[in-house]
Structure 1
Amino acid sequence: MKKSLMFKIAHSVARQIVAEVGDYQIAFKLALKDIWNGVKTAEKGFNEDELVDSLKEILHDTQVAEGQAKDGFTFGVPNWVIKKSFAGAHGDLRASFIFNGTSSINVVRETEKAELINFTTDNGDIEVWCPKSVLAA
């Protein structure tokens, strides 16, 4: 995949998530990182056409997950952080558990810039790292 195409897609994704992130540079960094991980995966034997199709799907996906909070947060954690944390084969399932079955949360660990948050769900505990800068007050 050409770098110019990667950057165009990253800018499109960044424009979609900038409101949730609060800063365009951070949104662009997250989008580019996601795309680059997909490109590296494609180089390991996956079909580049499948990668491009999945990126197009990301660009055009504007649906809100079922049960997801309308304000873009779940217990003060941005929904995009939860989705990003569980990108992969079973990630959508874990994110769905958080969106639909969280009864409580607590902070397990804390660093200068992030918190490890434990979501207590109907299906067990799920932990997510979240930057402090994007947490709801």
Structure 2
Amino acid sequence: MSKKTLMKQAHKIAKKIVKEVGNYMVALKLALKKIWAMAKAGRKRMSDSAFKGAIYELTHKKREYNGPDFFWLGSKGIPVWLMEKNLDPTELWGAQLAYSIGIERETEKAALIVFETDFGNITMWAPKSVIKGF
């Protein structure tokens, strides 16, 4: 795709998703990222189904985990969004299977969380300000 075509497609998508996003510039940024990813994947043209699929992906939040919003370590809770941000999908899956969860170290503002699993330990730093119970 030429840069002109990329921009045209991005503007079309941005116009469709601006209501959900609330700001045209943000909608355009998301659309450009999506279009550029498709162009890098080798797509030469954008069919109607691909166009509708891109709009659907940008307007619907992806959530792989449907459980509670916090994982609990005794009386302390770690937000799932923080785990999704700091752990890759394999580590997130492993953290859900942890048989022991603890705090290895603490600083003034953060705690090093350790998830002990059958596959090894998974560690993650978490700010105390977002952990429930601190």
- Give TM-score scaled by structure 2 length: 0.53
- Say whether 1:119 aligns with 2:115: yes
Cα deviation per residue 1:74-110 (whole Å; 9 max; x = unaligned)?
1211111111002xxxx111101112x1111111121
CA radius of gyration, larger in: 2
Q: Percent of aligned pairs with the same residue?
A: 31
Q: For the residues of structure 2 that align with 1:60 and 1:77, how far apart are their CA atoms?
A: 25
| Displaced runs of 4 or more, over 6 A | none
The 1:80/1:97 distance shift into structure 2, 3 A limit, reads same
Match of 1:133 in 2: 129
- Size of the aligned set, in residue pairs, is 95
Q: For 1:57 and 1:123, how far apart are their aligned partners in 2?
A: 33
Counterpart for residue 80 of structure 2: 79
- Structure 1 stretches lacking a partner, 5+ long: 13-34
RMSD (Å) for aligned C-alpha atoms: 3.8
Task: List alignment gaps of at least 5 residues for structure 2.
Answer: 1-6, 8-13, 22-28, 41-52
Structure 1 132/122 Cα, relative in aligned 2: closer, same or farther at 3 Å? Answer: same
Matched, 1:69 2:57: no
Matched residue of 2:129: which SS?
helix
Larger helix percent: 1
